[in-house]
Amino acid sequence: MKVGIARDNRFLEHKTGHFHPEHPKRLDAIYRMVDQHFDGRLIHIPSSPATLEQIERIHSPSYVKRILKTAEQRITSLAPDTPISADSYFAAWLAAGACVKGIDSLMEETCDAFFAFVRPPGHHALPDKASGFCIFNNIAIAAQYAIDRYALERIIVIDWDIHHGNGIHDIFYDNQKVLYVSTHDLMLYPYTGEIDQKGSGKGEGYTVNIPILREFTDDDMIYLYQEILRPLINGYQPQLIMVAAGFDAHISDPIGRSRLTEATYSGVTRLLKHFRSSVENPPLFYSLEGGYHQRALAESIKTVLMELTGSLSPMPPLSPGQAVTDLVAQLKKIHLPDGVFND
């Protein structure tokens, strides 16, 4: 696969303070890993800021004006957990724009897969509110752009961050053009994403919330995604597969408090490569969300990039536990009547 990336040192200018977990050193670690292990193997897609029109397809004009007013301010806060600095507004604008450019690179077939190494992250951002370290909802802006510019009608967004992406969830909750699938810990911020929330109106059945247990293993998570994504992708026939790629479910992460390793992320990426081959090979889009242990973050992304750039390998045998097999059965009971699953 031809794999493109977005990387830009201007994302480092979003300063959050020395002790904030969403720190520029996260990207430093990723960029060093890319230089060390993937030099010459990835396509660099230059980043440019999103347009006002693209931002305002998701965010309210009053909220956008509020962000612009933070230009050149010293560190202040948009929300209790979301500090910003003088150049944060531009980094946020650039992060959204990098994701838009990624969509172009996929639709124009410059790349088969794309990974946006951007900050600030986006999946908690609401149309008129910053939250959870997020300013603009990068994935939502990119998905809406794909709908507007390329007339896509079926986009699946897979959110494997340990925190529920309440922003993406709410923005597309009544929209059948975006199928949102989230695995998350309900006991962590933002404490949303109940299993019986399935969407509303035209979007009913197009939201799949999957609360997971902290004791789940790599085999449990890969099995869960295998059993849920296969019927969803077969039934929905997505034209684009997007991943809200947070890595804070890693066992080393100071916030996630889970048991997973980088094997989950590489395993699910391998699954996606297998599943896309059955539905006319839709492009793969990844955008960085959480992940706050620098080594674990870089190593996890390394395994994802190795899967994306390597040949397609068979899936290894799995040994899932009873709890995850019960969860899969519960999810199918909830969602099979909606007709989105093709099990």
Best CA proximity match to 117, nearest among 90, 143, 95: 95
Neighbours of 190 (CB within 10 A): 17
Are β-strands 82-84 and 76-79 bridged in parallel, bridged antiparallel, or unpaired?
A: antiparallel
Angle of the 25-37 helix axis to the 294-309 helix axis, nearest 10: 40
CA 328, CA 324: separation in Å to the nearest integer?
Answer: 6
> Would you call 123 a catalytic residue per the annotation?
no
Q: Is residue 242 within 8 Å of residue 288, measured between CB atoms?
A: no
CA 38, CA 293: separation in Å to the nearest integer?
Answer: 21
| 195 class by beta-carbon count within 10 Å (0-12 exposed, 13-18 middle, 19+ buried) | middle
Bond preceding residue 120 cis, omega within 30 of 0: yes
Are β-strands 155-159 and 178-184 bridged in parallel, bridged antiparallel, or unpaired?
A: parallel
C-alpha neighbours within 13 Å on the C-beta side of residue 238: 31
**Cβ contacts of 197 within 8 Å, gap of 6 or more:** 169, 207, 209
CA 251, CA 262: separation in Å to the nearest integer?
Answer: 9
Output the six-digit token pair for 16: 């959050």
Are β-strands 178-184 and 207-211 bridged in parallel, bridged antiparallel, or unpaired?
A: parallel
DSSP H stretches of helix in the chain? 25-37, 52-56, 61-68, 88-107, 138-150, 166-171, 218-236, 262-276, 294-309, 322-335
Bond preceding residue 190 cis, omega within 30 of 0: yes
**Cβ contacts of 248 within 8 Å, gap of 6 or more:** 161, 162, 163, 255, 256, 258, 290, 291, 292
Candidates 14, 23, 124, 293; catalytic one: 124
CA 75, CA 264: separation in Å to the nearest integer?
Answer: 36
Residues with catalytic roles:
124
